[in-house]
C-alpha cells in the first residue's frame, strides 16, 4: 500500500516538477491518498469505473535511467496520466486517461521487458522490434522461453539507432578496427547486447579476437572514462544524453557501422534499417551511418480493450502533441501514421480500434 503512495508521489514530481509541488501534495494528493486508504482502493489495476473515485496504476517498463527509453517512458507516463481528483480537461490543454496513474520503471532493457511483461511485472514496456520478433517466434535468446504469444503492440514509436561509441585515443575509426580491442556490448537482457552480438558475428569478430564485457550504458561509460574499455555499443534514440556528455568532453565519439558485412546483415535480419545520424547530433560529430530498429510500445492481450484504446487515443491526441515535441528529441518521430509500420506481431485490439477510427488502418 505504501509502495503505491510512493509511486503516486514520483509521478507527480515527473509531471509537475518542484514548482508548486508542496501545495499540490498537501491539498490534492493528501485528500486523494487518505481518501483511498480509507476505502481500501489503493490497489494496482483497479477497474476504471466511477470516474474520479478509482485509480488504475499502469507501469511502463523502459531501460537504463541514462538511456532514451527511460526518458521516453517518463514522457508517456506524464502524457497518459490523469489521476482521480484531477481538474477536468480544458480545451487546448493536456488531458490524459481518466483514472490512470502511469509510472515509468527502469529495467535492463528490451529482453528483460519481454519477460517482465510475460510475468505481469509490467503492464506495458518499450521493446525493440527485432527483440519482439524473436520473442514472438521463440527463437534465439528466447528459445527456452517458448513463443511469447500474449504480447500485443500499442504503437511503433521511433527508430532506435545502434551507436558504436569509441574512446578518442583508441585508434578505432571503423568497425574493422575493433579486433584486439576491449568492447562492452550491453548488459544481459538488453536489446543493445542482442544487436551488438549480431554485428560482431556479421564481421566475424569472436570472443577470441576481442575482449568482450557485458555492462549497461552507465557502467560502459564509466569503464571508457577509466580507460578499461576502448568502445561500447548502445542501441537508443539519438541523441543519447550519456553519449553527448562524453562528446562534449572530447573523450569519445560515435563511428559508423557500415560495409558489406553489415549490408548482408540487413538482408538476413530485415528489422535492421540503414539510418544516418545527422552531423552535429553529437558535439563535433559528422554524419554517422549505422543501423536502426523500431522502438515499440508493447502490452499484453489481456489488458482491457477500452483501457488500451484510451491510452492510444491520448498518445496521439492533438492537445498532447506539444508534450511529444518538447518532452524529448525522439518525440517528434512519434505519430499515428507510422505507428503501425514495421510491427512484427498483432496490434492490441484497443489500439487497433483507434487506428481504424483515425483512418490509419482500413477495413
Report if residue 197 sits inside a domain: yes
Q: Pick the more confident residue, 273 or 167.
A: 167
Query: Are 34 and 135 found together in one domain?
Result: yes
Query: Are 114 and 189 found together in one domain?
Result: no
Query: Are 337 and 274 found together in one domain?
Result: no
Report if residue 49 sits inside a domain: yes
Report if residue 207 sits inside a domain: yes
Query: Are 6 and 149 found together in one domain?
Result: yes
Query: Are 186 and 81 found together in one domain?
Result: no
How wide is the angle at C-alpha 120 spanned by C-alphas 155 and 109, nearest 5°? 60
Q: What is the CATH number of the domain that holds 271?
A: 3.40.190.10
Report if residue 363 sits inside a domain: no
Q: Residue 319: its pLDDT value, please?
A: 86
Q: What share of the chain is helix, strand, coil (3-state, %, to 5)?
A: 40, 20, 40
Query: Are 63 and 30 found together in one domain?
Result: yes
Where in the sequence is the domain holding 143, given as residue range(s)?
2-158+295-357
Using one digit for the tens of pLDDT, what is the confidence trace for 150-197?
Answer: 999 999 999 889 999 999 999 999 999 999 999 999 998 888 999 999
* Reported confidence tier of residue 281, pLDDT bands at 50, 70, 90: very high
When the pLDDT of each residue in the chain is averaged and rounded to a whole number, the result is: 86
Using one digit for the tens of pLDDT, what is the confidence trace for 62-115?
Answer: 998 888 899 999 999 999 999 988 877 776 667 899 999 999 999 989 999 999
Residue 320 in this model has a pLDDT that exceeds 60 = yes
Number of domains comprising the chain: 2
What is residue 347's DSSP assignment? B
Using one digit for the tens of pLDDT, what is the confidence trace for 41-57?
Answer: 333 444 444 444 588 99
Query: Are 10 and 127 found together in one domain?
Result: yes
Query: Are 282 and 335 found together in one domain?
Result: no
Report if residue 195 sits inside a domain: yes
Distance CA 140, CA 194 (A): 9
Query: Are 131 and 57 found together in one domain?
Result: yes
Domain's final residue, options 293, 313, 329: 293
- Determine the average pLDDT of the residues in 286-294: 95
> What pTM was computed for the model?
0.72
Query: Are 192 and 172 found together in one domain?
Result: yes
- Determine the average pLDDT of the residues in 346-357: 98
How wide is the angle at C-alpha 101 spanned by C-alphas 342 and 324, nearest 5°? 45
Query: Are 270 and 193 found together in one domain?
Result: yes
Amino acid at each position: 500500500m505504501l509502495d503505491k503512495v510512493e509511486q503516486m508521489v514520483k509521478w507527480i514530481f515527473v509531471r509537475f516538477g518542484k514548482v508548486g509541488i508542496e501545495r499540490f501534495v498537501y491539498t490534492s494528493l493528501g485528500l486523494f491518498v487518505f481518501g483511498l486508504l480509507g476505502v481500501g482502493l489503493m490497489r494496482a489495476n483497479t477497474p476504471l469505473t466511477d470516474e474520479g473515485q478509482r485509480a488504475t496504476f499502469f507501469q511502463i517498463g523502459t531501460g537504463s535511467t541514462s538511456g532514451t527509453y527511460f526518458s521516453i517512458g517518463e514522457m508517456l507516463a506524464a502524457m497518459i496520466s490523469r489521476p482521480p481528483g484531477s481538474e477536468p480537461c480544458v480545451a487546448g490543454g493536456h488531458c490524459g486517461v481518466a483514472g490512470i496513474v502511469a509510472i515509468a520503471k527502469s529495467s535492463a532493457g528490451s529482453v528483460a521487458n519481454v519477460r517482465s511483461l510475460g510475468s505481469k511485472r509490467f503492464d506495458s514496456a518499450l521493446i525493440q522490434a527485432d527483440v519482439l520478433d524473436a520473442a514472438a517466434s521463440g527463437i534465439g535468446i528466447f528459445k527456452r522461453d517458448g513463443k511469447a504469444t500474449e504480447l500485443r503492440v500499442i504503437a511503433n514509436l521511433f527508430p532506435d539507432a545502434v551507436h558504436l561509441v569509441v574512446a578518442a585515443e583508441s585508434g578505432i575509426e571503423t568497425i574493422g578496427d575493433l579486433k584486439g580491442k576491449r568492447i562492452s556490448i550491453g548488459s544481459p537482457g538488453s536489446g543493445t547486447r542482442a544487436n551488438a552480438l549480431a554485428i560482431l558475428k556479421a564481421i566475424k569478430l569472436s570472443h577470441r579476437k576481442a575482449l568482450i564485457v557485458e555492462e549497461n550504458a552507465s557502467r560502459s561509460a564509466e569503464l571508457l572514462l577509466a580507460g578499461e574499455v576502448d568502445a561500447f555499443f548502445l542501441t537508443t534514440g539519438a541523441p543519447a544524453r550519456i553519449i553527448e556528455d562524453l562528446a562534449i568532453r572530447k573523450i569519445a565519439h560515435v563511428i559508423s557501422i557500415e560495409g558489406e558485412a553489415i549490408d548482408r546483415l540487413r538482408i538476413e535480419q530485415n528489422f535492421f534499417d540503414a539510418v544516418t545520424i545527422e552531423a552535429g547530433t553529437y558535439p563535433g560529430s559528422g554524419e554517422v551511418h549505422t543501423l536502426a530498429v523500431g522502438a515499440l510500445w508493447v502490452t499484453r492481450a489481456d489488458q482491457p480493450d477500452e483501457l488500451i484504446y484510451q491510452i492510444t487515443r491520448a498518445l496521439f491526441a492533438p492537445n498532447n502533441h506539444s508534450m511529444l515535441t518538447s518532452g524529448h528529441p525522439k518525440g517528434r518521430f512519434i505519430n499515428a501514421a507510422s505507428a503501425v509500420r514495421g510491427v512484427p506481431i498483432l496490434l492490441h485490439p484497443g489500439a487497433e480500434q483507434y487506428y481504424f477510427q483515425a483512418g490509419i488502418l482500413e477495413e
